[in-house]
């Protein structure tokens, strides 16, 4: 057993017991596959600012930040205050309410292409509704997505998600239901267009993350996303940008503003709800109106997209409004987290180079991720075939010996609660880990 694993186990005795209980109620002891890691995950007791504290009293600087949703850190004061006030006067009205209109108007103001929107409760729902709207609008069936692209667990888009990408995503998904999804190689415009060309007559939409998140923090090469968009426009297919991770993270106006894109539809989640459950499908008024139950009373005329019991619930609305209003009045948030992100990417790359640990550090703005054994990373395949074992060792070692938390194997994100001292600590820890030789 490696030293850092022993060290982790010594520090996390209560978590070990809790994990053992957890395996008796949840398959694998988790409610989200990526939350398991070896030897067992630690159990969080509380979270505040940049810190996670576990049940054994260990405190970690958190770079996972609630699946990257917590741009202001854990329980930031404006959000906590809004929740404290709302919790006493209703958590689920089950009806229309003013704060949902305010939040939507704010999103409309901040995101240039959000003519209209629908709130759902999760991102998996929002992407499912986006492609349903695209099929309704175009009368076509085929959806194109990126290899490794992650749009949640909905049946339609649960394809080519995990390596090896050419194989199906496991039992329970019916091939006949998946026949209308085609996958394209991220960052290879020529090859992507070739695929799209073969399905052009029946192509309802391309749905794509501007930066591949779950697949490993892969930024788009110049012209790639624009090339896809151009093909879509010419072909009468919708271009859908999945901004569930990047929306309000890379910029308050979304990745669309950074990469100068004009998606027909786009999806939001995570930050939009201030860390509380939300999904949003937004975009062109005419397309969104296909879901209007008032003007389209017969079901044959209406695209049946949902909201769900918890849609527009006042707790999420309160947290989302508090977060977006804070971001809007404090543009310094983005300059700070982007600066920290840049420092950490440069610092890590320098340390790995000096330590002769082959590693490409990808990312943009406040998100970043190292890829061991790689000099270049262009697509999900590059990430999947990198030295994942080294990445897991690196992350677990940070956790066990340096009180720094990344979800093992996943990209990290800066929040407004982080500062320069955190970057220094992360770099110093990385240097030590490199010196220990475990990454070679």
Residues within window 107-166 making contact with its own copies, judged by CB under 8 A:
108, 116-125, 128-129, 132-136, 139, 141, 152-156, 158, 161-162
Among 22, 343, 387, 415, binds its own copies (CB under 8 A): 22
User: What are all long-range contacts of 115-118, with beta carbons under 8 Å and residues at least 24 apart?
Assistant: 115/282, 115/283, 115/284, 115/285, 115/288, 116/282, 116/283, 116/284, 116/285, 116/288, 116/289, 117/280, 117/281, 117/282, 117/283, 117/288, 118/280, 118/281, 118/282, 118/288, 118/291, 118/305, 118/307, 118/311
Whichever of 97 and 257 has its CB closer to its own copies, that residue is 97
Site string for its own copies, 180-199 (x = CB under 8 A): x-------------------
Selected from 42, 231, 326, 334, the binder of its own copies by CB under 8 A is: 42
Report if residue 45 touches its own copies, rule: CB under 8 A.
Answer: yes
C-beta neighbour count of 37 within 10 angstroms: 17
Pairing between β-strand 404-405 and β-strand 412-413 as defined by DSSP bridges? unpaired
12 binds its own copies (CB under 8 A): no
5 vs 47, which CB is nearer to its own copies? 47
User: Is there binding between residue 11 and its own copies (CB under 8 A)?
Assistant: no
CA distance 341 to 412: 9
The answer to the question of residue 392 lying near its own copies (CB under 8 A) is no
Q: Contact with its own copies (CB under 8 A): which of 56, 78, 169, 339?
A: 169
Residues 196-215 touching its own copies, rule: CB under 8 A, are: none
Q: In sequence order, which residues have a C-beta less than 8 Å from that of residue 166 and are 6 or more positions away?
A: 160
Interacting residues with its own copies between 328 and 367 (CB under 8 A):
none
Q: Which of 4, 12, 52, 72 binds its own copies (CB under 8 A)?
A: 52
Measured between alpha carbons, how far is 318 from 83 in angstroms, rounded to an integer?
A: 6
Helix (H, G, I), strand (E, B) or coil at 15: helix
Among 5, 43, 384, 432, binds its own copies (CB under 8 A): 43
Of 215-223, 232-240, 309-317, 396-404: span binding its own copies (CB under 8 A): 309-317
Radius of gyration of the chain (CA): 22
Please give the C-alpha separations between residue 116 and each of 96, 107, 284, 292, in angstroms, as whole numbers: 16, 10, 7, 11
Q: Per CB under 8 A, does 246 bind its own copies?
A: no
57 binds its own copies (CB under 8 A): no
Integer Cα distance of 78 and 59 in angstroms? 23
Q: Assess 388 for contact with its own copies (CB under 8 A).
A: no
**Smallest gap, in angstroms, from Cβ of residue 266 to its own copies?**
15
C-alpha span between 309 and 123 (Å, rounded): 15
Residue nearer to its own copies on the CB measure, 58 or 343: 58
Q: Between residues 106 and 351, which has the closer beta carbon with respect to its own copies?
A: 106
Residues 218, 75 contacting (CB under 8 angstroms): no
Please give the distance of CA 396 from its chain centroid, rounded to a whole number.
Answer: 21
Q: What is the phi/psi pair of residue 381, to 5°?
A: -65, -40
Q: Are 12 and 41 in contact (CB under 8 A)?
A: no
The residue (of 343 and 386) whose beta carbon lies closer to its own copies is 386
Burial state string for 284-297 with b = 16 or more CB within 10 A and e = fewer than 16: beebbbbbeeeeee
Q: Quick one: angle between helices 332-354 and 314-329, nearest 10? A: 80
- Count of chain residues binding its own copies (CB under 8 A): 128
Shortest separation between residue 90's beta carbon and its own copies, angstroms: 3
Q: Which stretch binds its own copies (CB under 8 A): 185-193, 234-242, 298-306, 391-399?
A: 298-306
Instruction: Check residue 35 for interaction with its own copies (CB under 8 A).
Output: yes
Looking at beta carbons only, is 186 or 405 nearer to its own copies? 405
Which of 103/359 has CB closer to its own copies? 103
> Using H for helix, E for strand and C for coil, what is the string for 105-136?
HHHHHHCCCCCEEEEECCHHHHHHHHHHHHHH
Nearer to its own copies, 163 or 349 (CB): 163
The interface region with its own copies, picked from 227-235, 290-298, 350-358, 373-381 by CB under 8 A, is 290-298
Nearer to its own copies, 34 or 353 (CB): 34
Q: What tokens were used for 314? A: 């006042």
302 touches its own copies by CB under 8 A: yes
Nearer to its own copies, 231 or 405 (CB): 405
């Amino acid at each position: 057993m490696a030293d850092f694993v022993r060290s982790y186990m010594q520090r996390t005795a209560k978590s070990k017991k809790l994990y053992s209980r957890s395996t008796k109620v949840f398959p694998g002891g988790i409610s989200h596959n990526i939350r398991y890691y070896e030897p067992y995950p630690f159990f969080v007791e509380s979270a505040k600012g940049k810190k996670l504290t576990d049940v054994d009293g260990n405190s970690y600087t958190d770079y996972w930040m609630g699946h990257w949703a917590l741009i202001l850190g854990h329980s930031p004061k404006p959000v906590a205050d809004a929740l404290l006030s709302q919790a006493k006067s209703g958590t689920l009205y089950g009806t229309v309410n003013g704060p949902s209109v305010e939040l939507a108007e704010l999103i409309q103001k901040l995101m240039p292409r959000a003519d209209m929107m629908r709130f759902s409760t999760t991102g998996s729902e929002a992407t499912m509704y986006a492609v349903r709207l695209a099929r309704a609008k175009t009368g076509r069936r085929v959806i194109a997505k990126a290899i490794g692209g992650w749009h949640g667990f909905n049946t339609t888009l649960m394809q080519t998600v995990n390596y090896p990408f050419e194989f199906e995503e496991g039992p329970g998904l019916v091939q006949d239901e998946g026949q209308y999804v085609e996958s394209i190689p991220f960052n290879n415009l020529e090859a992507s267009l070739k695929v799209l060309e073969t399905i052009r007559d029946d192509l309802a939409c391309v749905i794509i993350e501007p930066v591949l998140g779950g697949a490993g923090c892969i930024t788009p090469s110049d012209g790639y996303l624009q090339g896809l968009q151009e093909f879509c426009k010419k072909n009468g297919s919708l271009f859908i940008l999945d901004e569930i991770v990047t929306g309000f993270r890379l910029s308050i106006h979304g990745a669309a503003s950074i990469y100068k894109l004009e998606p027909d539809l786009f999806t939001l989640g995570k930050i939009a709800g201030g860390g509380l459950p939300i999904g949003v499908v937004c975009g062109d008024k005419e397309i969104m109106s296909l879901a209007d139950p008032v003007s389209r009373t017969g079901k044959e005329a209406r695209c049946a997209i949902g909201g769900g019991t918890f849609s527009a619930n006042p707790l999420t609305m309160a947290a989302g409004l508090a977060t977006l209003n804070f971001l809007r009045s404090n543009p310094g948030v983005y300059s700070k987290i982007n600066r920290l992100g840049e420092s950490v990417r440069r610092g890590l790359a320098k340390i790995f180079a000096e330590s002769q640990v082959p590693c490409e550090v990808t990312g943009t703005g406040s998100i970043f991720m190292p890829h061991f054994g790689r000099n270049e990373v262009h697509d999900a395949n590059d990430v999947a075939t990198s030295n994942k074992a080294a990445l897991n060792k690196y992350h677990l070692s940070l956790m066990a010996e340096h009180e720094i938390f990344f979800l093992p194997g996943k990209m990290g994100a800066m929040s407004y609660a982080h500062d320069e001292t955190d970057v220094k600590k992360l770099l110093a820890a990385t240097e030590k880990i490199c010196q220990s030789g475990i990454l070679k």
